[in-house]
Each structure stands twice: as structure tokens, then as C-alpha cells.
Chain A
Amino acid sequence: MNTTWSRFNIASVVLGFAFLYLPIVLLVIYSFNESRLVTVWAGFSTKWYGEMLRNEGLMNAAWVTARVGVLSASIATVLGTLAALALDRYTRFRGRLLFSGMVYAPLVMPEVITGLSLLLLFVAVGMDRGFLTVTLAHVTFSMCFVAVVVQSRLVSFDRSLEEAAMDLGATPVTTFFEVTLPNILPAVVSGWMLAFTLSLDDLVIASFTSGPGATTLPMKIYSQVRLGVTPEINAVCTVLIGLVSTGVIAASIVGKRKEVQRRREEQAAFAEGV
């Protein structure tokens, strides 16, 4: 679509973004509030960040979350990429319908159901709840998101590249690692980032599947939030938002730079001619 950007269009975009960002901005601002009363501004201060760092429970939870996040995102990326390949490459195999159903359903499945069902599985097989069970649970739901991200890249991937590699003597395994993977890598990386943030965010599934000693950051935040809004939690949230948005924005800027440079080089090549 390409046409004039009417006043109505501009207004809806501005309002939409204001709605999306205002609460976050306010939260960030009030994390620097001197007062313990969250809604009364009493001057700028970073004391709550210090408080946060001294809160051992919070820091432990953050460490658990980081480990669960990295581990589950890595496993989910491998499994999700495989699932995407299976869906993209094998249009006919026994049970494909069930498979695609199992890949897409977790995207919308209410978390309470996923959490409950995984917990009951762990109890049934007699697994102690803790770090491992949370990680397994996170792998399960985030691999489906990875699969969708990678699959959408595979759809636009030129299959003749793989055929060319095989034609030149590369076995399917070599072809995958030397040609397919390097080309879908951006999608695989964003799949990992998505899986990591999903794990970082998750409260409900973690609450069901974790046990003593494996309290994650969202669980910790939730238990404090229920007692009321505190500037300390605002500080934790600000740090999290900062980390994630820096990551996402940096990734997208790098991506855009590359894209721009690529387009420039392409134009130069064609201008050169022959």
C-alpha cells in the first residue's frame, strides 16, 4: 500500500502508540522516585536500584531466571528449528496433522492449562519439581514460537540453493550446515531471543512447574506485587525493560544497517553493469 498518510491515520497511530508506551514510561519514571509512595513524586533518586541489588531473594530469582532462560531458549531453538524444517520440508508424513496441531496450539493455549498439565506429568513420573522441570516446561511452549518464526523464514528460502549444494556433491547433512543454516540464521537467532524473553516473562507456567529453590524472577515479582506496588519492583521492571529493549533495538538496527548496505552494494553492482 502506498498513498497519502491522512490525518486520521496519523492520529490513530499516535494514539495507539501513546496507549502502548505511556504505562511503561510512567513505570520507568517512578522507579526513580525518592518516595516509597509510588504515586507521589518526591524527587529524583536511584536508591531503589541499590535496594534492589541488596535484595538477595530478588537476585537469586534473577539468577535462576537467567539460567532457565538461556538453557530453555537454546534447547527450544534446536527443537523449534527442527519442527519448522519438518513442517516446511515434509508435506506428507503420518501424523502430520497432529504434529502441526501440537506446534500451533501452544501459541494460543491458556497458560493455566499448559502449566497444570505439565505439572501433572512431572508428578506422574515422579520428577522433583525445580530448575529442571521449569526448563522443560519453557522449552515446550517456546519451541513452538521458534518453529513459527523459523518456518516463516523457510517459506521464503530459495530451495534451489539446497539443490545446488547437493548437485555440487554436498550430502543433505552438509547442505544443511553449510547452506541452509547460514541463510536462516537471522530467523534462528530471533527465535532464540523470543524463546529467551518468553521464558524471562513467564509467571503462570513457572508457578505450576517450579519447586522450592527454583523461584523465578516473575514469581518473585508477582508475590511482591500482590502486596502492593513498590518502587523497588519498578526498578527491577525498568532494568528488565532496559535489557530487553536494548537487545531488540540493537538487533534491529544491526539488521537494518546490513540491509541498507546490501541494497547499496546491489545498486552499485548493477550500475557497474556487464
Chain B
Amino acid sequence: MKSLGSIRKSFAPWSDPDAKPYIVFRNVTKRFGDFTAVDDLSLTIFEREFFALLGASGCGKSTLLRMLAGFEEPTAGEILLDGQDLRGVPPYRRPVNMMFQSYALFPHMTVEKNIAFGLRQDGMPKPQIAERVAEMLKLVKLEKFARRKPHQLSGGQRQRVALARSVAKRPKVLLLDEPLGALDKKLREETQFELMDLQQDLGLTFVVVTHDQEEAMTMADRIAVMDHGKIKQVATPPEVYEAPSSRFVADFIGNVNLFEGPVSEVDPSGATIRGADGFAIHAANAGTARKDETAWFAIRPEKIRITSQQPEGAGPNSIDGEVWDIAYLGDMTIIHVRLDSGKVIRASMINSARGSDNPLTWGDRAWISFAPDAGVVLTN
């Protein structure tokens, strides 16, 4: 099998202005009574893309998926799939299949009957159905379990039956609603990679809904971060992490330290924020910051250096404080430093050597510092 990386590296239709979008949400709004689940949302997804909708529960991501599947009709706006307007098309006429969070395996049918169900609805001749079912069982490595019923399977096996059933019809798009939510951590990690391989092999477009950022980061080509029915940012995993477009996204994905203050200077070398915590921050990229307006400097914990001595040539981007908390996690150590302003900064250190030679301990004075390009300036 080809390595995923080489294919992935060259796959970026979203940066190609001529690329034809495959799924288009245009100004889609969905209201349930007074509650607006999806709010004037526009989004394009490309063919063969592995696309993740990420957000907390109730952010509208599942509603978006259910509108694509046809279980909900948008209150306003339109949804196009491969150029076709989906309005009024019932779920059973859409070239889209869904893998349900609960798997929704038919309890009264065997594994093979479950997989054959969709094919039978299409009126496929029996020999062909049998062939396709066998192929699917092989794909998910469940050949031995064909005659079992769902309750005679373990959680991981059920998940794979659900997957086989939803791809058996070769849909244009596969929708996955929290596909790994019911699995334990270890199985989840393995399955993530299986899903990615499967998507490459079948050449399908995947739209996955998840609340687990790690899952989204691992699997997706692009991630849409959603909140209150709106999309906050759509970007590749590294972009979302390293260049979040807002404080919400920065805070939602991973951990972040935010320094707030007025922008004192904007020049070609970047921007300077006069932080409220008693030290100046110089950022290499000014972003959208404008002079005299409030801005936030966002920096990830692993990009902060901690030293017991003042770093040499210290100008901006460094300050001292008291070691407030230390958490040893094995692969890394997390240190909380309390600045004199009362703000607590989170920094992490990779434990690349065995044994701790960390000279810092609770109550010590320590210096934190970071490079000008280690974080981003945010204005909203």
C-alpha cells in the first residue's frame, strides 16, 4: 500500500481556485422552534476529502450532518451535492450513507443481512449482493461473523459492521457521526488509522462529526470548528492548531495561554503588546492587530521555555514568576507559573531524557520566555 503521507501531501483542492466543490452548504439555517441550531452557514467540501466537523455538543455539527443525510430539511439556504440541489430529496433517495453514533445495527438481522440491507433496497440481483457482502466482510475482517446477530458481537466488531453496511452501497459521501465515540481509547486509536486507510482505498468523501479534537486532528484533511451554529474556522489541522483565527478556536483546540493588552506599536517587524501582566510582548506577525486597540497574544504551553535564571539578552517576551504547580505526566511535565500579576501560565516540557534533572520545584522563582514567532496575535 502506498504511504498515506505522499498522497495526502499533494491533496489540497481547497487551495486551488479552479477546483469544483463537491458538497456546498450555501447560507444554511436550521431552526427548531426558537432554537437556531445552524445559523446562516456556508461551507464547501471537496471530492475525496476527509472532512471533520468539530465542536462541543449542541454546536450544530450533528444537525449539519443530518441535513446532508436528509433527516432534517434546512429552514433556509441550500445544500448541493455534486451540483444537485438536495432540497426535498428524501433520505432514501440520496447518494449519501451514514454511519450512526449508536451504529443502529438492525438487531433482528444477521451481520450479512445488515450489510445486504441497502443493496436489497436498490434491487440489486442476489448473486451480486452476495458478492458485495463477501467483499465488505473481507474489508472489515469479519468473514467469520457473517451469521452472527449484532448482540453476539463486541463493540469493535459492531462498529466495523456499521462501517461495512454504510459503505456497501458505494455512496458518493459517507457521513460518520462520532464513529469512534463508543470505543475505548486504545481501540479508538487503531480504528482511526483503519478509517483513513479505508477512505483512501475506496476513494470516498468522508464527513465526520466529532467532539474529540485529537480524532479530528489525526484523521481529517480539513477541520471545521463550530460553535453556536456557526463555523469559526475551516483549515488543515496544523493551521487550526498553530494559526487559530480566534480566541475561541485557540482555546477550543489544545491548551493555550492568552495575554491581553493594548497594541502599542505595529511595524514591519511585527506588533508589540503592552501586556497587563507587567511585560511587553513582541510578536513577529501582527495579524490583524491595529495600534491602540486591544489584542491577545496566544501561545501554546509547549512553546514556552522555563528557566531558573533570567535568559540571556532578555528583552521583551520574558518575565519571572513563582512555580505554582508541577504535574509529571510521563512523556512530559506541565508547570504552572504564577506571575506577580496573579495570572497563571501553563508551560510544558518534553521529558526527552530519563530521570528528572528539573531543578525547579514548588515555590521557586522561574523565568518564562518565548520567541517572537512562537504565538499568534488575535483581535477577536
Contact = CB atoms under 8 A, between A and B. Distances in A.
Interface stretch (A62-70, A218-226, A264-272): A264-272
B42 interface: no
Contact of A169 (B69, B92, B155): B92
Contact of A158 (B97, B102, B108, B118): B102
Contacts of B156: 273-274
A163 interface: yes
Contact of A163 (B100, B105, B107, B149): B100
10 contacts: A160-B100, A163-B100, A166-B92, A168-B165, A169-B118, A183-B106, A265-B149, A266-B152, A270-B154, A273-B154
B100 A262 contact: no
A163 B121 contact: no
Nearest to A265: B152
A272 B153 CA distance: 9
Nearest to B156: A274
Interface of B: 69-71, 90-94, 96-98, 100-102, 104-108, 117-118, 121-122, 148-149, 151-157, 165-166, 169
Nearest to B90: A166
Contact of B104 (A160, A265, A266, A273): A160
Given A166-B90, A167-B91, A168-B97, A269 B154 contact: yes
Given A167-B97, A179-B106, 6 more contacts: A163-B91, A163-B98, A169-B118, A183-B107, A265-B149, A274-B156
B155 A270 contact: yes
Nearest to B142: A274
B292 to A, nearest CB: 54
Most chain A beta carbons < 10 A, residue from B69, B71, B169: B71
Given A163-B100, A262-B151, A269-B157, A168 B121 contact: yes
Given A158-B104, A163-B71, A166-B92, A265 B151 contact: yes
A29 B42 CA distance: 78
B270 to A, nearest CB: 51
A174 B121 contact: yes
A171 B92 contact: yes
Contact of B91 (A166, A179, A262, A273): A166
> Mostly helix, strand, loop or mixed at chain A's interface?
helix
Interface residues on A, range: 20 to 34
Interface of A: 158, 160-161, 163-171, 174, 178-179, 182-183, 262, 265-266, 268-270, 272-274
Contacts, number: 84
Most chain A beta carbons < 10 A, residue from B104, B105, B107: B104
A253 B201 CA distance: 49
Contacts of B101: 160
B106 to A, nearest CB: 6
A167 B98 contact: yes
B104 A164 contact: yes
Contacts of B108: 182-183
A270 B166 CA distance: 23
Nearest to A162: B104
Nearest to B121: A169
Nearest to A160: B104
6 cross-chain pairs, A with B, having the tightest CB-CB distances, nearest first? A168-B118, A169-B121, A164-B104, A160-B104, A166-B91, A182-B108
Contacts of A179: 106
A170 B98 contact: no
Given A269-B151, A274-B157, A169 B169 contact: yes
Contacts of B155: 270
Nearest to B100: A160
B100 A164 contact: yes
A168 B121 CA distance: 7
A273 B184 CA distance: 12
A234 to B, nearest CB: 44
Nearest to A159: B104
B117 A161 contact: no
Nearest to B108: A182
